[in-house]
Each structure stands twice: as C-alpha cells, then as structure tokens.
Amino acid sequence: MIWDDNEDIVRIECTNSARVIQQHLNELREERRPYVFITNTMNIKPLRRILVPVSMLEEETYKAEICTYLARKTGAHIILLQANDYGSHARQNVNRIVTHINAVNEKLQHLSSNSNNAPTTDVAGTPISYEIVPARKNSFKLMQEAAERQRDFQHDLLVITASRDYGLDDLLFGPPERKAIQHALVPVMLVNPREDLFSLCD
C-alpha cells in the first residue's frame, strides 16, 4: 500500500473501539501529515478507487492535493461524492477540486508531450480519472453516507476531513470522523482542516 513505509502519511492500526479511535484522533489534532486509520474490521485491497465526500465546508478543498497525489502514485479513480445541499457551496468545492485535478492532468500531458513523444507507461504519467456522484444526504450526514456505501462505490479508501473544532455534540456523542472510521469497511484517510497545519506529500 502507498502508506506502507511512507513518512508523509501516518498509519494508525487499531481496534474498532470508539474509545481507542477517539484517543488516536485526539493525539492527531495537530498532525500536519494525512493520517490513515486501519481497524481490525477493515478490508485492505490494492488502491483502485478513492471515495472523497465533499461537503459545503471550505476546508473540503484541502483534500484535492492528497487525492491527486494518491491517484498519480497508484492510478486510482477518484469518486467525488457531492453533498445534496440546497445551497451551492458543496458544488463550488467540487468544482475547485476538479479544477485542481484538471490542472494536474494538463501538466502531466505537457510533460508527456515533451518527452520525445514517447508514450508514457508509468502510472505517475497517466491522466487522473474522476467522476462526480450526487449524494443522497446533505453535508451534515455526508460522512456517514460515505462510510456506509462501500458496496455502491466499491472504493478501497475513504478520504475525509477531520473536524476543525469539537462542539458539544461531538464531545458527548463523538465526532463524525470517529463514526465514519467505525462504520467504514475500508481504510479511512483524514486530512487536518487547518491550513496552517496542512502539509502535502510530494
């Protein structure tokens, strides 16, 4: 897997216990690198499809860089799950992520055309494929939907954003990312939502 022996990605292996997962989440609040949870109830498979739920929150666009990084390294297909919101924020966030993916694809195409016109066979040089799928739920329940729809999307990795701050409900009942990790059947990668903490693997 791409996160094996990769210093740019923190790997957490643990049980599916809410207490254990929350303890790790608390310890990782200031972590700049993306971190992936692998619990004892998850299936680990070669990375072919990445599910990326996109809500109305501005920090959702931070996932664009890590997703394109993973797709370039593995050739995986990106599924952007757009929240079913009344407003346009989720759609705008999806558009920003797509813009980033297209910019990377243009750069890859330019590099490929300048390499003596030889066809590129390396995974890192192939265009990143993606699709946009409308979600059934709104931004507030999007993470839960993403964690529960593995059979629908057949994804091998779920990429979500950690909560910027914990509110009273999060402290009493647990933050949405903890519930997503508990329900997910595949590894879950989290990106810290604070821009000053975000660091991209290159």
Could you state, in chain order, the average pLDDT of each consecutive group of 10 residues for the chain (202 residues)?
80 93 90 92 92 92 91 94 94 95 88 58 72 95 90 94 60 71 93 65 47
Give the CA diameter of the chain: 60
Contact (CB, 8 A) for 133 and 80: yes
Amino acid making up residue 114: N
In three-state secondary structure terms, 53 is strand
**How high is the pLDDT of residue 126?**
80
**How high is the pLDDT of residue 163?**
75
Contact (CB, 8 A) for 178 and 21: yes
Residue count (the chain): 202
**Which residues share a beta bridge with 77?**
49
The pTM (predicted TM-score) of the whole model is 0.87
C-alpha to C-alpha distance for 26 and 24, rounded to whole angstroms: 5
Contact (CB, 8 A) for 159 and 63: yes
